[in-house]
Structure 1
């Protein structure tokens, strides 16, 4: 199961760079459909690399004669990479899925957790880039996690409780909603929506795991904010992406719950 989960995670991670690039836009702007050099980006999954058609390269070589070494296409016509590299993401997501498989073991909820991991990484990448968690990912993710764990609860060897999972999702989303209402500039509404799916994942193993994952997410974010403050005191009011720390806290909680179960 560990090997299978690692293979799935590596494949999913390898497919993330293009989606992360296309989704990393400010609110109100359309999803990116062109690379930084103006070539059309086709599809949503795969490495962030433009493979210029052969006729475009040949045309570029003809246009480039007299302006550079013979036979070399101009910069705009050469195949090129942009955005995140696929190999590091494949290694990261593969390792995360392997960890989840080692912790959860051969239990039906493993499928839900392994399915959650690549999307959580994708959301973290987008949040780091533009401080935004798109609804197109957060809302379907919450429904998918709830449905996946609900299916797992019907199967033998399930290690958690679906009712607690749903309560955990509502409780964590409610807690983050309260933080958002108190300080909208410090806690975005996208974090509230992400908390819904992470709370479901944590609540499956009970309130102890839920509390640990919620606390660790806040702790990781607070430690990062403190490090930023110590390094650059003049930027104390500068915001930073909190979604990656929420995901890291939830991962820590699920690992603890999986090993405990």
Structure 2
């Protein structure tokens, strides 16, 4: 790939990542609830939320002044709020997901080049960022994201295997998904307090994308995930923000490890 084309591809991937990241805050807010609770369907002030994608802002809150209950604002008060933009936002904003997703997509483009599997990585990257965000907040990996993303990865990679110039194998992707999912299931059975079943489901998708580039990439991505988790846990212990038995979300590190393995696998393919 020539230098100009390479830089253009990386720039387009970064723009895609930024655009996709800007749509994640609302979904992160709605999914970030403790286990056993229903997904959020309203903003903190009780206004119904429409859709799953978009910024973490509530139009009804902007139209209702502070200190006024939803549905009781006078016409004049609502007009004042509309003109001043008053009203609380929910969630943590779009800056972090936009920046992280853009960087992830740009790195994937730089490593993969013009090979067709890049389209699969760019479609899955925002889902990975969303999963990591939710798990960090509430230590929960939503089923509507984990299992469908694994199935989507295998389906898209199956189609990619039919396109010339791809650099992976769909059979190994399928076996990688089954192998990594089975390995995490064994860890879940051994220590369910330390490894959640959501991690097992997430491992299916991670194994699929890593397996595309072969077994060495599966091993590398798996080890990178455990190393990232160990370093994070050790840092918390050193900083006295956690003890040896403190539960930490492992999903973000499983995803980070898969990202590292995928970058290296794509670059060396």
* TM-score, scaled to structure 1: 0.90
Distance verdict in 2 for CA 1:24–1:207, change over 3 Å:
same
2:56 to 25, 48, 52: 48
Name the CA distance, whole Å, in 2 between partners of 1:185 and 1:12.
33
C-alpha root-mean-square deviation of aligned residues, in Å?
Answer: 2.2
Deviation at 1:231, TM superposition (A): 2.0
Per-residue CA deviations over 1:50-85 (Å, capped at 9, x if unaligned) read: 123786459358569xxxxxx975xxx933222121
1:135 maps to which residue?
143
**Structure 2: which 5+ residue stretches go unaligned?**
1-8, 66-71
Which is further off, 114-123 or 3-12?
A: 3-12
Name the CA distance, whole Å, in 1 between partners of 2:21 and 2:120.
16
1:243 maps to which residue?
251
Contact 1:111–1:148, Cα closer than 8 Å, also in 2: no
1:59 maps to which residue?
73
2:128 to 107, 120, 140: 120
Contact 2:173–2:207, Cα closer than 8 Å, also in 1: yes
1:198 maps to which residue?
206
**Structure 1: which 5+ residue stretches go unaligned?**
65-70
Deviation at 1:41, TM superposition (A): 1.6
Q: Map of 1:4-19 to 2, 5 A cutoff?
A: 4-19=12-27
Distance verdict in 2 for CA 1:159–1:194, change over 3 Å:
same
1:171 maps to which residue?
179
Name the CA distance, whole Å, in 2 between partners of 1:192 and 1:221.
16
Distance verdict in 2 for CA 1:237–1:260, change over 3 Å:
same
1:157 maps to which residue?
165
Contact 1:97–1:114, Cα closer than 8 Å, also in 2: yes
Which is further off, 38-47 or 177-186?
A: 38-47
Q: Map of 1:8-47 to 2, 5 A cutoff?
A: 8-47=16-55
* TM-score, scaled to structure 2: 0.88
Per-residue CA deviations over 1:222-247 (Å, capped at 9, x if unaligned) read: 11111122222773322111000010
Runs of 4+ in 1 over 3 A off after TM superposition: 53-64
Name the CA distance, whole Å, in 2 between partners of 1:63 and 1:207.
63
1:187 maps to which residue?
195
